A and B are shown apart, each in its own frame.
Chain A
Amino acid sequence: MESWLEFAKGPLFRLTFAIMLLGLIRIFMLDIWGIYKAYRKAGDKNMPWKLVLSRGLEWFFPVNRVARNRPFYSTFSTLFHIGLLVVPIFLYAHVKQWEKSIGISWITLPFDWAYWLTISTIVFAIALLMGRMFNKSSSFLSRKQDYLWPILLLIPFITGFVCAHLNVNPTYYQFFMLMHVLSGNLIFILIPFTKIAHCVLMPLSQVVCTIAWKFPPETDEAVCSTLNKKGAAV
């Protein structure tokens, strides 16, 4: 188990982390490239940039239109996101690992904060998952990956909590640590290729939506004729 752990923390981590980092940069650049191409082809080049920006920023704030309709969901989601980002990045043990391998370190979470943030993330993730399962309109819209993602994200948080805060014997410790590292690696690989890519694509979403309405009115008919389905509904 120790050598598996070494492998998962060393080569496997470098592989998955590089895929995540470059993969996110890649899809961001490809999106920008697509937007640029679409903008060049758009018939109406007057983009309401200010509106796009303000709408984009609106989505970053927890209190928005969704908060009015579904206050619990938006609060839980915000708190879940805070824990999801803050704990892995600022955890003392994680920062120490970075410092040991490449010599870079940054501020770390106090011990108690890390403890409560981890618990809150686990609780909110379960709450969100329940909400998705039992709310009719949510479950109607959900795909398989929407259920699998919260479960996958829970694994490193639970195993990490066991390793960092509970007193377990070395065999269990190593097992939980291996699960922690492997599930983390799996998440890294999947991020750029699944819906979690919204972590970098989010700021562009409003631009994409706006540009879609900027083509000439005949575009849909042209699409149909290209596909040999003249007269069909788009």
Chain B
Amino acid sequence: MNRVQNTKIILWLITGFAAAVGLNRFIFGLGATTNLTDSTPWGLWIGFDVMGGVALAAGGFVMTAIFYIMKREEFHPLVKPAVLTAFLGYMAVILGLLFDLGLPWNIWHMIIFWNPHSPLFEVGWCVMLYSAVLLLEFSPVPLEKYSRYAKIRNFLMKFRFVFVLLGIMLSTLHQSSLGSLFLIMPFKLHPLWYSNILPIQFFLSAVALGLMMVAFESLASHWLYKRKPETSLVEKLGKTVVWVLSIYLIVKIIDILAAGEITIVLNGSWESFVFISEIFISIIFPIIIFSVPKMRRNIKAQWIGSFMVVFGMVFNRINVGGLTMLSITGDSYTPSWMEITISLGVVSAAALVFLFVIEHFNIWDLKPQDPESLPHTAPSFDYSSHAWLGTPDAASLTKFSLAFVLSFAVGMALMPEKKLHGKGIEEITVSRASGIERLLINGNKDDNLVEFPHKEHIARLGEDQCAQCHHLTLPRFIENSCWECHTNMYKPVDYFKHNWHASSSGANIKCDNCHVEGVQRESKSAKNCVDCHPKYDFNNARFIGSQKYFAISYTDAFHQLCVSCHFIKADELNKQNLTECKSCHKVKIHDQVAENLKWKTTLPHFNSVILPNIEKEKNQSEMSKDEKENINN
């Protein structure tokens, strides 16, 4: 197989894999697929797909400005691919955004419900208008192939200059407005990346990135299709980019100096390391490569230089878009493999469309061709499977679709089961209460405990009234404790344990021992527990929802039991404070825990959290007589 086919198969594999993940994202939601949290709502998808995608599309407006406005005719071969990249880049941005939006079906809201104060409103409108303009700007190219659309094409060609101007205007606005988006979060963005002139920095870097993206594409298509390299054009682009990058560097240096942040650059933190490496990769190395004439003409140096700018500038967008906010919010966010897959999938899909368009329409003067799908290639057998895959074009369809299907299936299989069904409520196995006469109930061991005067409740209710609270169901126990069945702090649990009963390593019982023979096997048609466990006493027990085989959570069990009784007693005894939360939840925190919390509050992200009033545990001896009486009563 040749280079083009191999590349396409890899791209189809990635796209198929990402499609499976994407399907799960839309069925099961963001929580099931991403590592995003409330304090880090913008992750890889925004930083890479949206911010990076917009920046990569900058080639469109840069090249049209150079060709149509500055009248540099020699760049003509690069204009169409640049506009195509811009269009596909924006499509990728919209696709990436649909994945990231919590309610993607509401994306049309910005058209009707205007909020002119919001920078996102400006960004949204820019994306929408510019995508439409790019479509109009690019559509004459595919229409060229069909004579029946000649009228539409001529009409579009007549207004081409208007579209070009609109495109340049909207794109300029949009590139910088992505920067202004971050002006409103000076306390969230790291100072090295935050600046009052962020819109200007974004615009300048977009120009440099646009130039180099066009160069990179030209080089990549030369490699892929073994085309004649456009070395002289790339060389001219390199010459221009040196100027743009130099201006960008000067602006950046002045900005850092004026803000007095030079010490932060050199303080050796990971942010300073990221900042310095970003500057070197995206600005300084490319300037060196493209200002030496001998290197500028060398195709390998062109590869390295253009890749450095593309990588470095996208890295900058990721830094601004979320990575460097982590140092302020104190969060730890690593993109999940599913986020990475979807990002790669969006890029691969865009690349596939790009390859399709350049192979089928006149983007370059000489259409690049996939050597295996030429119409006059002799049909051949596939060497790996010894199968005849059909005529050349059908053979590639067969291969690519198989790659997509197989990787989609692998993607479905690799979905982690827990993620699929959502993390849901945290699972905390409860620990039993301690103490004898006075129980300390602290199921999740967070030291926010409830002190329960057990002996006094017995004295008040009467010695024979255990069943008012206890189920009295388990055999070999005079009374059973709450934690034995309500084993989870916040989740209902299956106390019947069907799988254990039916497992050879558990009770090892045959199906028909419990289920009635000849009827559908389900819980309705099963025998009652007492039929096998005669010692279980359900008649004397307080028992709620026995037929469901579910024990409510530890918290719910206590709240339902205690609160309902407290309400009755409050009316009976006319003691209204019995119904208050604090009548049971007397927060007592040990010194060690208080110390831990004190340390935690020094973390930056804790500043926004309001902690409950910490009442230090008082020694019995320090209590006044009234307080002691209160507790005893």
Which B residues are in CB contact (< 8 Å) with A168? 510-511
Q: Which of A15-23, A73-81, A203-211, A214-222 lines the interface with chain B?
A: A15-23
Q: Which of B52-60, B174-182, B206-214, B393-401 lines the interface with chain A?
A: B393-401
Size of the B side of the interface (Cβ < 8 Å), in residues, is: 35
> Once the chains are docked, how many angstroms separate the CA of A92 from the CA of B414?
27
> Once the chains are docked, how many angstroms separate the CA of A34 from the CA of B406?
22
Binding site secondary structure of chain A: helix
B394 near A14: Cβ-Cβ < 8 Å: no
B413 near A12: Cβ-Cβ < 8 Å: yes
Which A residues are in CB contact (< 8 Å) with B508? 169-171
A23 near B405: Cβ-Cβ < 8 Å: yes
* Partner of A170 from B414, B504, B518, B521 at Cβ < 8 Å: B504
Which B residues are in CB contact (< 8 Å) with A11? 413-415, 417
Interface centre among B505, B508, B511, B512 (most CB of A within 10 A): B511
Q: Does B428 belong to the interface (CB within 8 Å)? A: no
Interfacial residues of chain B within 476-519, with CB under 8 A of chain A in the complex:
502-506, 508-512, 517-519
Which B residues are in CB contact (< 8 Å) with A171? 504, 508
Size of the A side of the interface (Cβ < 8 Å), in residues, is: 30
A167 near B412: Cβ-Cβ < 8 Å: no
Q: Does B402 belong to the interface (CB within 8 Å)? A: yes
> Once the chains are docked, how many angstroms separate the CA of A55 from the CA of B405?
32
Q: Does A59 belong to the interface (CB within 8 Å)? A: no
Known A37-B394, A111-B519, A111-B520: A14·B415 in contact at CB below 8 Å: yes
A167 near B405: Cβ-Cβ < 8 Å: no
Which B residues are in CB contact (< 8 Å) with A16? 409
B504 near A18: Cβ-Cβ < 8 Å: no
B405 near A170: Cβ-Cβ < 8 Å: no
Q: Does A4 belong to the interface (CB within 8 Å)? A: no
Interfacial residues of chain B within 519-562, with CB under 8 A of chain A in the complex:
519-521
Q: Does A173 belong to the interface (CB within 8 Å)? A: yes
Which B residues are in CB contact (< 8 Å) with A22? 404-405, 408-409
Q: Does B390 belong to the interface (CB within 8 Å)? A: yes
Known A167-B511, A168-B510: A10·B394 in contact at CB below 8 Å: no
> Once the chains are docked, how many angstroms separate the CA of A92 from the CA of B521?
9
Given contacts A26-B401, A170-B508, 17 further A-B contacts (CB under 8 A): A18-B412, A19-B406, A22-B405, A22-B409, A30-B397, A30-B401, A34-B394, A37-B391, A92-B520, A111-B520, A167-B511, A168-B510, A170-B504, A170-B509, A170-B510, A171-B508, A174-B503
Sort A-B residue pairs by CB-CB distance and give the 10 closest, nearest first.
A15-B413, A18-B409, A167-B512, A14-B412, A170-B504, A11-B413, A18-B412, A171-B504, A19-B409, A22-B405
Which B residues are closer than 8 A to A by beta carbons? 20, 27, 390-391, 394, 397-398, 401-402, 404-406, 408-410, 412-415, 417, 502-506, 508-512, 517-521
Which A residues are closer than 8 A to B by beta carbons? 2, 10-12, 14-19, 22-23, 26, 29-30, 33-34, 37, 92-93, 102, 111, 164, 167-171, 173-174
